[in-house]
């Protein structure tokens, strides 16, 4: 336990300095359509720790949330993502790719959030429709009115929202109906056993049918096998993300992959 506490306080001390030392980087995981053509990417945060090497978000996002550091870190992520979209806009083949960014509850409820996102979009002169914010059901639960308000405000600026890890939280259809979303993201847990678990297969079908009824697009995350992809496709899913298609990689590598898939 002492070792665990020591580890935590080391991570905490490092985390407080990581922004100043420019130790964060965004990796990108490709998202494709039914024809295996890239439609965009999810931005996934990594911490390039001077001693520990590349640190995954499970190791520090929770702590950053507890410490309130997720607000400035999240701002850095949005700023980087907007800069990345601006860079793609000027490049052959990459100009229409979307970039999805994860947003924690804590960030969403920060009073400066809407202005911060608008500023990033304006500063980089990007098409706001290419920036997608991934939120979770739990982020909405605290105060749905507030969240609907800020989603509408950003929606008017053209920014889109995706409901991440869909099906794992506690949001009711009542809630879902009120949220100005453009996408549902089927959680990896349902995709994982889709080939063997008839319940998961039924859940996935239901999510996809519901999304279509509500005019939302759907993407499945955590697609690892051809069988999973074909079952998802048979259930009506047309967007896919997962190790089968590509792992999260540094942006330069992502660009090369996206180009090679788009040039075919
Ligand atoms: P998430 O948003 O659900 O992101 C998907 C996670 O699943 C990523 O883990 C990704 O690497 C992993 N993944 C993708 N495809 C597969 C697959 O086929 N199989 C398996 N087993 N896993 C797959 P990662 O990058 O470690 O991120 C973990 C979580 O950390 C994310 O879960 C997200 O909640 C959070 N996170 C990442 N970046 C950020 C960020 O910039 N801001 C915030 N607030 N949270 C972030
Ligand atoms: Ca996500
Ligand atoms: Ca997810
Ligand atoms: Ca997930």
**ipTM attached to this prediction:** 0.97
With bands split at pLDDT 50, 70 and 90, how would you rate the model's confidence at 209? Answer: very high
Q: At a CB cut-off of 8 Å and minimum separation 6, what does 147 contact?
A: 108, 135, 139, 140, 179
pLDDT per residue as tens digits for the range 76-96? 999 999 999 999 998 989 999
With bands split at pLDDT 50, 70 and 90, how would you rate the model's confidence at 216? Answer: very high
> Residue 169 Cα, ligand 4 centroid: separation in angstroms?
11
Lowest average pLDDT, out of 66-75, 85-94, 173-182, 237-246, goes to 173-182
User: Long-range CB contacts (< 8 A, 24+ apart) of 17-22?
Assistant: 18/47, 18/49, 18/73, 19/72, 19/73, 19/76, 21/50
Q: Which atom of ligand 1 is nearest to the CA of 26?
A: 41
Determine the pLDDT at residue 67. 93
**What is the rounded average pLDDT for all residues in the chain?**
95
Determine the pLDDT at residue 1. 78
CB of residue 56 inside a 6 A radius of ligand 1: yes
Determine the pLDDT at residue 221. 98
Q: Are 85 and 129 in contact (CB under 8 A)?
A: no
Task: Please compute the mean of the pLDDT values over residues 217-240 and round it to a whole number.
Answer: 97
Task: Please compute the mean of the pLDDT values over residues 11-40 and round it to a whole number.
Answer: 96
With bands split at pLDDT 50, 70 and 90, how would you rate the model's confidence at 111? Answer: very high
What are the distances in angstroms from CA 177 to CA 42, 129, 211?
25, 21, 11
Q: Which atom of ligand 1 is nearest to the CA of 165?
A: 3
Lowest average pLDDT, out of 29-33, 137-141, 219-223, goes to 137-141
- What is the rounded CA–CA span in Å between residue 81 and residue 107? 16
- What is the rounded CA–CA span in Å between residue 154 and residue 34? 29
- What is the rounded CA–CA span in Å between residue 162 and residue 101? 9
Task: Please compute the mean of the pLDDT values over residues 108-136 and round it to a whole number.
Answer: 97
Q: Are 103 and 150 in contact (CB under 8 A)?
A: no
Strands 249-250 and 24-33: antiparallel
Determine the pLDDT at residue 10. 83
Q: Are 199 and 167 in contact (CB under 8 A)?
A: no
């Amino acid at each position: 336990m002492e070792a665990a506490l020591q580890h935590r306080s080391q991570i905490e001390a490092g985390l407080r300095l990581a922004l100043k030392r420019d130790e964060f980087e965004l990796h990108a995981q490709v998202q494709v359509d039914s024809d295996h053509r890239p439609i965009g990417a999810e931005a996934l945060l990594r911490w390039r720790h001077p001693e520990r090497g590349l640190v995954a978000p499970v190791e520090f996002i929770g702590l950053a949330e507890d410490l309130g550091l997720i607000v400035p870190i999240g701002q850095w992520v949005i700023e980087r993502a907007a800069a990345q979209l601006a860079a793609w806009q000027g490049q052959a083949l990459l100009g229409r790719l979307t970039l999805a960014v994860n947003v924690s509850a804590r960030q969403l409820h920060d009073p400066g959030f809407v202005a911060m996102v608008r500023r990033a979009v304006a500063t980089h002169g990007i098409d706001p429709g290419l920036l997608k914010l991934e939120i979770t059901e739990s982020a909405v639960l605290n105060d749905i009115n507030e969240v609907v308000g800020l989603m509408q405000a950003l929606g008017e600026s053209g920014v889109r929202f995706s409901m991440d890890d869909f099906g794992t939280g506690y949001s009711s259809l009542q809630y879902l109906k009120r949220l100005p979303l453009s996408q549902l993201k089927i959680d990896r847990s349902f995709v994982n056993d889709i080939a063997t678990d008839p319940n998961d297969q039924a859940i996935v079908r239901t999510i996809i049918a519901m999304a279509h009824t509500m005019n939302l697009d759907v993407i499945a995350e955590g697609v690892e096998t051809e069988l999973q992809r074909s079952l998802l496709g048979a259930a009506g899913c047309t967007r896919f993300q997962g190790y089968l298609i590509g792992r999260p990689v540094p942006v330069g590598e992502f660009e090369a992959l996206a180009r090679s898939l788009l040039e075919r």
